[in-house]
Amino acid sequence: MNTVKTSVHPRIDRAVHATPIVFETCNLTRDIPPRTHAFNSYVPGQGTDDYARGNKMQTDVLKPEPLEPEVLVVTLNARLQPVHRGELFEDPLDEVLRNRGLGEVCGGGTGTTEEGEVAYCDIEVLLSNPTPENIELLIGVFHSMGTPKGSALRRDRDEGVTRFGNLEGLGLYLNGTELADEVYEQCEPTFVHNEITRLIEGNGEIYSYWQGPLDTALYLYGPSFEVMKEKIRAFLDTYPLCQKCRIEQIA
């Protein structure tokens, strides 16, 4: 497993298909912050700001001696390109932390397989006062943004690991080499992206994608893998570009 650490969000050059499948117009940037998921019910109210307000009494009333700032490493069990990691998690998280005076996002990284597919990603958080209450608040913010199960928060100070996550993941892999040439010529990958987005609305979202040498993957995350799978089953069975595709549970 390879890990690439970055402090900014680099551009990823797409791998070349034997028969290219290119998402030319896919818009994976959310129109609203990810913390306002329609399918998210973890946090009372709506959004990270509500969650932070709900914990205001803890930060305002309980004022023990502040601890030394600490860098926490959050490993997301999410297959995200660096740009999508920034848009969906790092940027909104950094805004919440700075607005509340709790700290900031100070780095990030991507772990890849030997084939170049993203396996997980890290976000480094500098927490100004790493009390148990503030760490709980940090995890709550991640939950409100929609975080895949199997994610973890690690502390170097005590080697502690806290597992968390509230979403399941579905990887859809479109075959890029074994279909008839006319299928690749006549079918639109962007249509696949948009139709799946429509079919799983309210039950999940496409977080990112990956284009490898043999196939193209879409990464879906939502409360239930089985529900998302059922929502897209009929479409996968009938649209030519989805022939010989495979589905994998990734969270």
Class of domain 168-249: alpha beta
Long-range contacts of 150-153, Cβ-Cβ distance < 8 Å, separation of 24 or more:
150/77, 150/251, 151/74, 151/75, 151/76, 151/77, 151/78, 152/74, 152/75, 152/77, 153/72, 153/73, 153/74, 153/75
Q: Encoding tokens for residue 100?
A: 């509340």
State the average pLDDT over residues 155-184. Answer: 93
Other beta carbons within 10 Å of 200: 22
Q: If 0-12 CB within 10 Å is exposed, 13-18 middle and 19+ buried, where does residue 95 land? A: middle
Long-range contacts of 94-99, Cβ-Cβ distance < 8 Å, separation of 24 or more:
96/48, 96/49, 96/52, 96/141, 97/125, 97/127, 97/138, 97/141
Q: What is the band of 89 on the pLDDT scale with cuts at 50, 70, 90?
A: very high
β-strand pairing of 215-222 with 205-211: antiparallel
pLDDT, greater one: 89 or 11: 89
Could you give the residue range(s) of every CATH 3.30.70.590 domain in the chain? 168-249
Write the pLDDT tens digit of every residue in 205-226.
999 999 999 999 999 999 999 9
CATH architecture of structural domain 42-164? 2-Layer Sandwich (3.30)
Q: Mean pLDDT check: name the lowest of 1-10, 78-87, 225-234, 235-244.
A: 1-10
Percentage with pLDDT > 90 across the chain: 71
pLDDT of residue 151: 99
pLDDT, greater one: 82 or 29: 82
